[in-house]
A and B are shown apart, each in its own frame.
Chain A
Amino acid sequence: MGSYSFIQPKPKPLLSAFSKIWISFILFVSVLLISFGIFLLLKIHYYKIDKVNTVNERVALESKIAKIDTYMEYLLRQKSLGEEIYTRNTLLKESMKNLFDLVPDKITLNRVIIKKNSLIIYGRTPTKDTFNFLLSAPLKSIFTTSNTMFYLTQNGWYNFVSTNKIAPTDGFSE
């Protein structure tokens, strides 16, 4: 076969330089945008994981707060009971001190029974009047009811039993 051209044939490129530039540019921009999209998706994924972890940590902290609150309530009940006991002891001391301070020197006590709402005093007094003026009057001002029985002794003094009661709700604290 004969040759129809003086120059050697060269294979024609499938794409022109112009096309190659454009295709490369489009591909480059696409890759850039897809990479950015993937980057965002990864960030979203990590934010979601971090959020779940943060929520879990918060729930753990809240549970710790609830435990502390329960424990503090328990301690506050303990504190309140402790203070109440200390106050009761102090009140009892003051009550007894007041009671013994009330008793004049002329009257001798043989026995004192202190209950929550009552006070029973056994003792000796030279006269009924001494008792009535010096001890009975202050007792009557403290207690709701106050009754005294006298027994004459051989030496002319009186043995007495004074029963004093206070309204049940108040308790003996004077």
Chain B
Amino acid sequence: MVSVSNSRDRSLEKINYIKLLIYLSVFILVTLILILALVLPSIKRYRVARNEYNQAMVHKTRVEGVLKQREKELKQLQLSNRKIFDSFGHKFSQNEFTNFANKFFDTVALKEVNQSMYTDEYKVYELNVTTLLKTPVKFYKFLDGLNHYQNLIQADFPIDLKSRGDLIHSSFKIKVYNAMKKK
């Protein structure tokens, strides 16, 4: 600090107005230069940077909202169609299907006729089914049961029903749809 005890320094007692004017000018000049060259541009850039950041945040928040909505929709879709999606993913077994068909028919024979692609997402097995049944009602029940089976199976044409004594010999095609692995 400035020593006031210096008896010879009378600069504070007797102010030199020229010096005061010079210092005041220097002060104003330095302050102005710093404000104009450093503070004001920085404030401007700060505002721009803050706005850009805020905009980025708003955009991100909106996208987060969309993502949450999509995840909800996906979950809903998976829940409401679980049976179909599980059926597509379930590996087809001829033995299991024969056991299932035996609930409706007296005898069941399966013969694989074709394996092909249905678009690039599904593999389709085509099988000929030959059965003996007592009444057509069993066939209707089988078709009903097909919609609740663990695989996605479509009964397909041609369907040939022939009378054989008291029984009906039936021959028809089924198509089993298996989904290819997908992430």
Interface of A toward B, CB cutoff 8 Å: 10, 12-13, 16-23, 25-26, 29-30, 33-34, 36-37, 40-41, 43-44, 47-48, 50-51, 54-55, 57-58, 61-62, 64-65, 68-69, 71-72, 74-79, 81-83, 85-86, 88-90, 92-93, 96-97, 100, 108-116, 172
| Binary interface encoding of chain B residues 4-17 relative to chain A, with 1 for a CB under 8 A from any of its CBs, else 0 | 10101101100110
Determine the chain A residues whose CB is within 8 A of the CB of B56 once the complex forms.
50-51, 54-55, 58
A88 to B156, CA, bound (A): 9
Which residues of B are interface residues toward A (Cβ below 8 A)? 2-4, 6, 8-9, 11-12, 15-16, 19-20, 23, 26-27, 30-31, 34-35, 38-39, 42-43, 45-46, 49-50, 52-53, 56-57, 59-60, 63-64, 66-67, 70-71, 73-74, 77-78, 81, 84-85, 87-88, 121-122, 136, 139-140, 143-144, 146-147, 152-155, 157-163, 177, 179, 182-183
Min distance, Cβ B125 to any Cβ of chain A, angstroms: 13
CA distance A58 to B38 in the complex (A): 33
Residue in A10, A17, A93, A112 whose CB lies within 8 Å of B12 = A17
Known A-B contacts A44-B49, A97-B140; the reply to A82 vs B27 at CB < 8 A is no
> Chain A binding site: helix, strand, loop or mixed by DSSP?
helix
B residues within 8 A CB of A114?
157-161
Contact (Cβ within 8 A) A29 B27:
yes
Contact A111 to B163, CB < 8 A, known contacts A47-B53, A93-B140 = yes
Alpha-carbon gap, A62 to B140, bound state (A): 49
User: Among B15, B19, B84, which residue has its beta carbon within 8 angstroms of that of A78?
Assistant: B84
Give how many A-B residue pairs fall within 8 Å (CB-CB): 199
CB of A40 to closest CB in B, whole Å: 4
Partner of B31, one of A33, A43, A172: A33
- Say whether B4 contacts A74, CB under 8 Å: no
Residues A47 and B153 in contact, CB atoms below 8 Å apart: no
| Chain B residues closer than 8 Å to A74, beta-carbon distance | 121, 182
Q: A17-B9, A33-B31 are in contact. Are A82 and B152 (CB under 8 A)?
A: yes
